[in-house]
Amino acid sequence: MTVDREAMLAKAQQDRRRLLRVPVNLPGRLFCPDNLREADCTVLEMSPGTAHLECEIVPQPDTTVVVYIEGFGRFDAVVVRSLKNDEADGKFGVRFHCSPLKRERVAEQLAHYVESGTLEDTNLRRHDRMNTRGFASFTRVSGEIVNCEVLDLSLSGVSLGTPARPQIGEIVLIGQVAGRVMRIHENGIGIEFITPPQDRAAAEP
């Protein structure tokens, strides 16, 4: 049996790329769906299945988060123990929950980044929605506190499941984040955040 040496080398190179862990310096955004906290972050290192982040918010291990990484899009992830015990520096690791197809795509993007020093253009939506669910509440201008369910969440707004029907344009507070009611749908309301993204984390208690 003849061994195709070039094919073996190509496969080995592909396997290495799939497991590649790359030092990077990429801007990102961290979301914590459990408490609706968010903050800018920097991705210091990345592989097809993990990332090492620096952020003013350091979630506890096993916390489910969503990470947006410039050039790569959105990742559902879980916080793992910080690397080298550097919690005090705001650094920690996350493990991605993504399909094999997406991992392969990330591996290709990282390989391109290593080889060219640039990121490939992607067609990922800037404000891709999370489709995450959880319970929360919002405060109306009257002071009424309304319990609700988070149906989905993005950088720009949130969809809430609630029987309450505030008027379009009403300003509400979700935690300490201000939003404006933009639409009413069958299951509740859609809210657009009006607190600037860079100020939202600072607004959290």
pLDDT tens, residue by residue, 157-185? 888 999 999 998 999 988 778 888 999 98
| pLDDT of 123 | 36
> Does residue 165 lie within any of the structural domains?
yes
Question: Does residue 14 or residue 187 have the better pLDDT?
Answer: 187
Name all contacts of 31-35 with Cβ < 8 Å and 24+ positions apart: 31/65, 31/66, 31/67, 31/68, 31/130, 31/153, 32/57, 32/59, 32/63, 32/65, 33/64, 33/65, 33/66, 33/130, 33/132, 33/134, 33/150, 33/153, 34/63, 34/64, 34/134, 35/175, 35/204
Transcribe 141-152 into DSSP letters: TTS-EEEEEEEE
Cα separation of 3 and 51, whole Å?
Answer: 37
In a domain, residue 126? The reply is: no
What confidence tens digit (pLDDT) does each residue in 17-31 have?
Answer: 445 678 888 898 898
In a domain, 121, yes or no: no
| Residue 90, pLDDT score | 87
Q: Is 63 exposed, middle or buried (0-12, 13-18, 19+ CB in 10 A)?
A: middle
SS3 113: helix
Supply the range of the domain harboring residue 40: 5-116
Does the structure show a pLDDT above 70 at 6? no
Q: Is the pLDDT of residue 66 over 50?
A: yes
148 and 107, same domain (yes or no) = no
Task: Judge if 19 and 94 occupy the same domain.
Answer: yes
Is the domain of 111 the same as that of 158? no
* Same domain as 22, residue 86: yes
- 62 and 9 assigned to the same domain: yes
Q: What is the pLDDT of residue 197?
A: 45
Q: What CATH code is carried by the domain that includes residue 182?
A: 2.40.10.220
Angstrom CA distances, 141 to 92, 158, 178, 183, 204, stand at 38, 18, 11, 17, 19
Answer yes or no: is 151 within a domain.
yes
Angle between helices 5-18 and 100-116 (to 10 degrees): 100
What is the DSSP secondary-structure string of 1-58?
----HHHHHHHHHHHHHHT--EEEEEEEEEEETTTTEEEEEEEEEE-SSEEEEEES--
Q: Do 79 and 150 fall into the same domain?
A: no
Asked whether the predicted pLDDT for residue 72 surpasses 80, the reply is: yes
Whether 105 and 14 share a structural domain: yes
Number of domains in the chain: 2
Please state which of the ranges 49-58, 78-87, 101-110 shows the lowest mean pLDDT.
78-87
Same domain, yes or no: 101 and 143: no
Residue 193 lies in a domain: yes
Of 84, 116, 148, the residue that ends a domain is: 116
If asked whether residues 59 and 154 sit together in one domain, one would say no
Q: Other C-beta atoms within 10 Å of 156: how many?
A: 14
Residues 178, 90, single domain; the answer is no
Same domain, 13 and 112: yes
Domain presence at residue 51: yes
- Percentage of the chain surpassing pLDDT 90? 20
Answer yes or no: is 129 within a domain.
no
Examine residue 162 and state whether it is found in any structural domain, yes or no. yes
Stretch among 73-77, 108-112, 181-185 having the lowest mean pLDDT: 108-112
> Residues 116-138: pLDDT tens digits?
766 654 433 334 444 445 678 89
Higher pLDDT, 122 or 154: 154
Task: Point out the domain boundary residue: 68, 85, 116.
Answer: 116
Same domain, yes or no: 72 and 26: yes
Contact 106, 72 (CB under 8 A): yes
